[in-house]
Amino acid sequence: MRAAREAGLTQIPAIVRDIGESEALDLALFENTQREDLNPYEYAQATLELISRRMGWPLEDVPARVRLIERQQEEHPEEAAQLRALFAEIGRGTLTNFVKQGLRVLKLSAYLLDELQRGALEYTKVLAISGAPAEHHRELLRAALEEGLSVSGIHARRAKLLGGQGAMSPTPQQVARLIQKTSFDKLEAPPPRASGAAAAAGRTIASGQSRQGQAGPFLS
């Protein structure tokens, strides 16, 4: 309605129906997840509240239960299916993406969260900073804001602060591609080792050839 008024509209197409208080709360929570102006923290909070309502879980238990079900979907097929359907309805990512990215915002330090909420720093950069030990967060935040570091620049600065120990490890996909590029057919097996009398004979022949080669320069 507010958007219609701001647009100067006096009439809008609408479906009017009577709903109960509980359903009205569900609709309000769902509409919160659809707002385009939500920052990642607000989206995570709105999504957790919606999951709490739909699944009947206490709000404080939702993050842990969502992580568990995402990790063990075969052991919790019904709940996993409900959550996947809910994220498909929201239309802003998947259950797995929410667990791996969306829930990380809940663990951000207060000053990183503040920069995120006021729009000073993109979420991907905030996550890159949060991956470093806490004692380096402020230095990385300062560098990101004042020097305009990219995500890769933040990772490089993080590695420098850690003396090279913070360099990003290759992902499983990168390792798999490297293995696929390796042609094991080109690897040659070492020659079989000679044993016993054959090895001794070989050493005798080699010794004789060496002595003949050494005498060569003194022959007329």
pLDDT in tens, 127-146: 999 989 999 999 999 999 99
Q: How many residues does the chain have?
A: 220
pLDDT digits (tens, 9 = 90+) for 14-48: 666 666 666 677 777 788 788 877 888 888 999 99
Burial 86-96 (b: 16+ CB within 10 A, else e): bbeebeeeebe
pLDDT score of 189: 47
pLDDT score of 92: 86
Amino acid at 65: R
DSSP string computed for 135-192: GGHHHHHHHHHHH---HHHHHHHHHHHTTTTTPPPPPHHHHHHHHHH--GGGPPPPPP
Q: What angle do CA 124, 129, 134 make, to 5 degrees?
A: 150
Amino acid at 128: A
pLDDT score of 35: 81
47 Cβ contact partners less than 8 Å away, ≥ 6 residues apart? 33, 90, 98, 102
Contact 105, 42 (CB under 8 A): no
Per-residue pLDDT of the chain in tens (220 residues, 90 and over written 9) = 566 777 788 787 766 666 666 667 777 778 878 887 788 888 899 999 999 999 999 999 999 999 999 999 999 999 999 999 999 999 988 999 999 888 988 888 888 999 888 888 898 999 999 989 999 999 999 999 999 999 999 999 999 988 855 444 444 555 555 555 544 444 444 555 555 555 555 555 444 544 444 444 434 3
Contact 158, 128 (CB under 8 A): yes
pTM given for the model: 0.59
Q: In angstroms, how far is CA 208 from the centroid of its own chain?
A: 66
pLDDT score of 187: 42
Helix axes 40-55, 77-90, angle to 10 degrees: 130
Contact 43, 33 (CB under 8 A): yes
